[in-house]
Structure 1
């Protein structure tokens, strides 16, 4: 069925004819000409599931999301293999057993994601008659703490946990940022690498960009507004565009970085070359630009964390949480922060505000005279 994956590259004139032919050849249409996988192979079922529900042509997935989907699929495949099961063997007991296995083996947020992948697969199977019953109704997901938290065990003999917020205070953030250029060990392109790393740190800290948004930046992503302030236009989750203001300190680093590469600092909206690209082992650092990948960005952050000797769990996303919290702590309106951060729903932004308000409860307490 691999040939079905090529249909997305056909012209609109060819698409209907080719799709009709392929589906009829594989007997994947029922008497109502609806997609039916009742008699299909597991290979057909899985390929169509990924083609129609996961890797759709109109959906741009980040490397992180793709990696998560592959991990979820691998987890399910391993479970089935370990129990000598096929996808066609899945029924009520198998759904309950896998549900129990995931909830016991993974933390709440990972379990929720893996069970959501499983639910989507079962629903697709029911919609296409691969499964005769609505099996996903028996999935029960664990509850998860809302907000940006990590869970840590506090006592080995107990299941009790404590909550740690995945963000930094201002002092620690500034301290950690100072180590980004210090991780460079190579002599070749040392100056460019140091300036690149420091700019990465400042953009993470002062813009609230997601890692995927940062890595997608081109030189043409930047523009001046009518007042002469520099902005970056980014495409966020769900292909939603938004505009991010760039702080003056970050603007200076941006231009320093460009000059170190012997690149023009003139803003050019037509320039689609990547802002961040691999610089190692390049005789000419600006030739053959290969966009920086998420594993490379993650490695930069982790090496800086290690060198700083603290906050070893910090990842690129911690800076986003830190930025949003700092905006709210400085009384930036909730609606402005929502748009700035690219949250799809203001309830997400409100989670940050609730915790900021909790942290400030002592301010109100000190206003009350409890003793005469």
Structure 2
């Protein structure tokens, strides 16, 4: 833990005195007592960038977000190392070269995220006088098609593309979920693993949970409302809480799984044990459970997809898109779908509705008598 990070554990009076002292000692304050990194080392620049703009103590980042930031930082560091550049060397040519490198090497969504990380770093450098010019103005991000689509080239000799929707039909989703328990090869805890995998499939499909949200579920995340219906309370993207109703079929799978691992099926909101965990131990129930990781979840879905002989591009997130689309196709109000899905803006939910309306356009056209 660095010196500046340690300051966050002090009281207000100590914090101010120690922060000012450290910044003066390291020549990081200008004559106006503003933060300046004009003469700072690259280590100070990076330390303060991550402390102030990325891993701020007041921010609660998901493990997925932390991994993404680390990946973006690593990409930039490798580029600089490959070109024998330091952070101080970055200017207009380097910004344009890195911009081009990212757009050529990465898919649109990843490229946008990595360039946004680069933009934030350059802006912080300009704000703190580490850079004398506003270099981020020269970054141009690739255009990303809104919605849940995959853009694939259809011909090698031309740039023509086709759009494939990243979701499953109701029939395909049900068929694919049936393979989740079938991928279990282990003999130890076989029944428990099969029930766990089946529950994962049901939760992905019937709740629209993001992978990180599903993996963060504790037994205490579930509760009954006043009418006796089961709900799950989750903390979603941007640390926003939301409540999702649990269908009867999924509830049955949940309780079957709980029974199989020797746990109580009585809902207890104080229980912080993870719902999903690896089952390497011989005996159940397992104490000191470690939470199932995203790579393990991803592997479950991919193996089920392979065994079912379905599209190899399918990931856990496809079930979320399918959930939202099916709700809207069955006339669940847009505002309710937005809340269940945890969309920050209703315009995101509306993208699904626009595509559904496009798919149904022939219905409206056939209502019109175009010929006498």
TM-score bucket (shorter structure): over 0.9
The equivalent residue for 2:102 is: 102
Is 1:131 aligned to residue 151 of structure 2? no
CA RMSD of the aligned region, Å? 1.4
Q: Tell whether 2:252 aligns with 1:223.
A: no
1:99 shift after superposition: 1.4
CA contact (8 A) 2:261 2:284 kept: no
Structure-1 separation of matches of 2:7 and 2:262: 43
Greater CA drift, 173-182 or 92-101? 92-101
So what's the TM-score if we normalise by structure 2? 0.96
Q: How does 1:73-152 map to 2 (within 5 A)?
A: 73-152=73-152
Report the alpha carbon displacement of residue 104 of structure 1 after superposing the two structures with TM.
2.2
Q: Distance in 2 between matches of 1:10 and 1:277?
A: 36
Deviates more, 1:67-76 or 1:124-133: 67-76
Q: CA deviation at 1:243?
A: 0.5
Does residue 205 in structure 1 map to residue 201 in structure 2?
no
Q: Do the aligned partners of 1:189 and 1:285 also contact (CA within 8 Å) in 2?
A: no
- 2:370 equivalent in structure 1: 370
Deviations 1:38-64 (A, max 9, x none): 111111111111111111122222222
Count of residues in Structure 1 that have an aligned counterpart in Structure 2: 372
CA distance, structure 2, for counterparts of residue 149 and residue 57 of structure 1: 35
Matches of 1:288 and 1:277, distance apart in 2: 10
Which residues of 2 match residues 247-326 of structure 1 at below 5 A?
247-326=247-326
Q: Secondary structure, in 3 states, of the residue corresponding to 2:27?
A: coil
Contact 2:278 2:291 in 1 (8 A): yes
Cα separation, 1, equivalents of 2:15 and 2:323: 46
The alpha-carbon deviation at position 282 of structure 1 amounts to 4.1
After TM superposition, give the deviation of residue 293 of structure 1 in Å. Answer: 1.1
Matched, 1:153 2:144: no
Residues 147-190 of structure 1: CA deviation (Å, up to 9, x unaligned): 11111111111122111111100000001000111111111111
Q: 1:259 to 1:75 in 2, by over 3 A?
A: same
> What's the secondary structure of 2:355's corresponding residue?
helix
Would you say the 8 A contact 2:231–2:246 is kept in 1? yes
1:175-225 deviation per Cα after TM superposition (whole angstroms, max 9, x unaligned)? 100011111111111111111110011000000111111111111111111
Deviation at 1:13, TM superposition (A): 4.9
Higher alpha-carbon deviation: 64-73 or 351-360:
64-73
Unaligned 5+ segments in structure 2 are none
Match of 1:18 in 2: 18
- The 1:10–1:297 alpha-carbon spacing in structure 2 relative to 1, beyond 3 Å, is farther
2-structure distance, mates of 1:12, 1:216: 33
Question: Residues 269-291 of structure 1, C-alpha deviation per residue, up to 9 Å, x if partnerless?
Answer: 11111111111234334212111
Partner of 1:62: 62
Partner of 2:49: 49
**8 Å Cα contact 1:244/1:340 also seen in 2:** yes
**CA distance 1:40–1:107, shift in 2 (3 Å):** same
8 Å contact from structure 2 (residues 153, 160) kept in 1: yes
Unaligned runs of 5+ in 1: none
Distance in 2 between the 1:206 and 1:12 partners?
A: 47
- Segment of structure 1 superposing worse, 39-48 or 52-61: 52-61
Structure 1 CA distance, aligned partners of 2:280 and 2:150? 34
Question: Alignment partner of 1:36: what SS?
Answer: coil
The farther-off stretch of 171-180 and 304-313 is 304-313
